Homo-oligomer: A and B are copies of this chain.
């Protein structure tokens, strides 16, 4: 079976502090070959939340996303603050972005935005019996609208390509939606 590559050298070639760092690594492959320009990209790690209401609806957001240049449907999500526990970040982001909270949380798994380049690590949580306790107050730039979608409506949104975020689709796969 293929085994790990050894990092012989790593040099940062670009950074915007607290936002992105790009490094070029010299790596040694298991067969002894060396590659001197393997690129790794680091951005902040993040959480995504699949929050289900007691009425079997999933708490979603409809909003313009500038990276995609379009309006789409997404799950609540956000960056993990420094020294914040991922579950605490998930609770915070769900409350800030949607006004919902839950007492029943389960980790569903993790993934990378790219397994070539790393980019960010995403951690997915399921929240059951989520209930609305306040109005959203995310402070995000986007003007987001909370929508409670059934599983069938979410599947239809995947089919019509209204969900264009790979991390959101990945979270839905882990949640078996």
**A103 an interface residue at 8 Å Cβ cutoff?**
no
**Residues B39 and A66 in contact, CB atoms below 8 Å apart:** no
Which one of B5, B16, B159, B164 lies within 8 Å of A112 (CB-CB)?
Answer: B164
Q: Which residues of B contact A120 (CB under 8 A)?
A: 114
- B-contact 0/1 string along A129-151, CB 8 Å cutoff: 00000000000011111000000
Q: How many copies does the complex hold?
A: 2
**A87 an interface residue at 8 Å Cβ cutoff?**
no
Which one of B2, B4, B143 lies within 8 Å of A2 (CB-CB)?
Answer: B143
- Choose among A16, A111, A177 the residue with the greatest number of B CB atoms under 10 Å from its CB: A111
* Given the contacts A166-B122, A167-B166, A2 and B142 also touching, CB distance less than 8 Å: yes
**Residues A67 and B43 in contact, CB atoms below 8 Å apart:** no
Which 3 pairs show the lowest CB-CB distances between chains A and B? A169-B170, A65-B115, A2-B143
Chain A interfacial positions (CB closer than 8 Å to B):
1-5, 13-14, 16, 19-20, 22, 27, 29-31, 33, 35, 38-41, 43, 62-72, 74, 109-120, 122, 141-145, 155, 158-159, 161, 163-170, 172-174, 176-177
User: Can you list 30 pairs linking A and B with CB atoms under 8 Å apart?
Assistant: A2-B145, A3-B71, A13-B14, A13-B16, A20-B41, A27-B66, A29-B141, A31-B143, A33-B141, A43-B117, A65-B115, A65-B116, A66-B116, A68-B115, A72-B115, A109-B158, A110-B161, A111-B166, A111-B169, A113-B119, A113-B167, A114-B119, A114-B120, A114-B167, A166-B166, A169-B169, A169-B173, A169-B174, A170-B173, A172-B173
